Structure formats: structure tokens, C-alpha cells
């Protein structure tokens, strides 16, 4: 079943949302500078034209979302991605974990499709910032969540715990906009003795018609 477009994406057109997007786009270049391979997969839409992917150095980039949008390459459930295990070089989650019902399930799915030494990048809003306080007071007053459309804000510490449990090593965490937001970058640990050079062959991600994905995947025509 196709999900509706998160209200957060409309908020990005506001002056404050544009400020956030500019700050994140400026950090995307350094974050992606050493991310190579064939495929960088963005899970969840964020901004018109996928601005965070413009600095990508992989051969190919794709955007998977649970709703139809001009910039979406593939429409599918974010916790049941239609890709084979160990087939993606890098996964970007731009605030995606903040609006989905089960963020850990989406994170676990990102781990499944990433190959050994694959790169995981996450953008998040800091719940302990002034924006987190604004959100807390808004909840007490029964006002809409801030930023709009978010179900929860995940702390950097919680994300560190989650990615460690899933077999990642955190390489860097960088704050922006006076620590209102953060970038987290991690690498999937190598679990076998297979030489890394065997993983770096050119390849296309393998779409799989898994039972849980077959009925949920819709290719988006451009």
C-alpha cells in the first residue's frame, strides 16, 4: 500500500526548511567524499531533485520511497527493500527514521542490503536541542509536532547503540545549525575472511521479488 508524502517535505519549502537543506547539502560533499562503488541508495525522499545526492561519487544513485514523487526512482516499503542482501555500497537515510512507524526495522533493512564495508549515512534532528524543547512544549500544548510530520526525534546516542548492535562502526558524527541536527556516518563491519577486493567488482544491485516486497514495489516512470 502506498504511503502518503510526509508533511516534513512540504516544510522544506519554508525559509527554515531551506536553511536546513542548505546546511545538509554543504555537509554532504565531505561526508560522501570517500564513498565509492556502484550504488548509493537513498531510502526516503528529502528535497526536490535529491539535493544530498549531488555530491555522490558512486557510479549510480537511486531514491526509494513509500510514496510517488518526481524524484523517486522506486516506490517500495522502506522496511522491505526489493534488493538482494549485500548488494548496495552505501545507504543514506535523510531523516527517514524520524517519520516511519518502526525506525529500527528500516535501519535493520539498510544493514541487510549493505555489503561488507558499506557506508551508512543518517541525518537526524537532535531531540536535546532547542528544537527538541520546542517539540516537547508543543506536545504538552497538543500542537502539531515540530518539525512537521515527524513521529519522534532520535538522539545520537540511541543511534550509536542501534548501529553498533547491527554490526557497524561509527566513523564520524557532525553537528550543524548549532547542534539542532547531526550527520552520522558508519561502516558495516566485515564478518567473513573474504578479501575486500572481491566485493569491489562493478555490479548492479539485484532486485529481488521477495514475498514481502513483491506486492509493495512499484516502479516509477520518469
**Is there a contact between 153 and 125 (Cβ–Cβ < 8 Å)?**
yes
pLDDT of residue 210: 47
Please report where in the chains the cell 524524484 appears, as a residue. 71
Q: Which residue has the higher pLDDT, 218 or 25?
A: 25
Structural domain spans, the chain: 7-215
Give the architecture (CATH level 2) of 7-215: 3-Layer(aba) Sandwich (3.40)
Q: pLDDT averaged over the chain?
A: 86
pLDDT tens for each residue of 29-38: 999 999 999 9
pLDDT tens for each residue of 57-80: 999 999 999 988 878 999 999 999
- The three three-digit cell numbers of residue 207, written as one number: 532486485
Category of 50 on φ-ψ map: left (φ > 0), alpha (ψ -120 to 50) or beta: left
Spatial separation of the C-alpha atoms in residues 35 and 90, rounded to whole Å: 7
**Is there a contact between 63 and 53 (Cβ–Cβ < 8 Å)?**
yes
Taking the whole predicted model, whether its pTM rises above 0.75 is answered as yes
**Is there a contact between 95 and 65 (Cβ–Cβ < 8 Å)?**
no
pLDDT of residue 208: 62
pLDDT tens for each residue of 77-93: 999 999 999 999 999 99
pLDDT tens for each residue of 150-173: 999 999 999 999 999 999 999 999
Phi, psi torsion values for 11, nearest 5 degrees:
-60, -30
Amino acid at each position: 500500500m502506498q504511503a502518503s508524502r510526509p508533511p516534513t517535505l512540504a516544510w522544506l519549502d519554508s525559509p527554515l526548511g531551506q536553511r536546513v537543506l542548505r546546511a545538509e547539502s554543504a555537509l554532504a560533499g565531505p561526508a560522501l567524499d570517500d564513498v565509492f562503488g556502484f550504488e548509493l541508495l537513498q531510502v526516503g525522499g528529502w528535497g526536490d531533485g535529491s539535493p544530498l545526492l549531488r555530491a555522490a561519487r558512486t557510479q549510480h544513485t537511486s531514491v526509494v520511497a513509500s510514496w510517488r514523487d518526481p524524484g523517486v526512482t522506486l516506490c517500495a516499503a522502506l522496511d522491505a527493500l526489493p534488493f538482494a542482501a549485500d548488494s548496495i555500497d552505501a545507504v543514506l537515510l535523510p531523516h527517514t527514521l524520524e517519520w516511519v512507524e518502526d525506525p529500527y526495522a528500516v535501519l535493520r533493512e539498510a544493514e541487510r542490503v549493505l555489503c561488507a564495508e558499506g557506508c551508512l549515512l543518517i541525518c537526524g534532528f537532535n531531540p536535546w536541542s532547542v528544537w527538541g524543547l520546542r517539540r516537547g512544549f508543543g506536545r504538552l500544548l497538543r500542537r502539531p509536532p515540530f518539525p512537521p510530520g515527524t513521529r519522534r526525534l532520535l538522539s545520537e546516542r540511541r543511534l550509536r547503540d542501534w548501529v553498533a548492535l547491527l554490526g557497524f562502526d561509527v566513523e564520524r558524527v557532525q553537528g550543524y545549525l548549532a547542534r539542532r541536527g547531526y550527520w552520522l556516518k558508519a561502516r558495516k563491519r566485515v564478518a567473513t575472511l573474504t578479501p575486500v577486493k572481491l566485493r569491489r567488482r562493478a555490479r548492479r544491485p539485484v532486485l529481488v521479488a521477495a514475498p514481502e516486497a513483491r506486492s509493495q514495489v512499484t516502479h516509477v516512470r520518469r
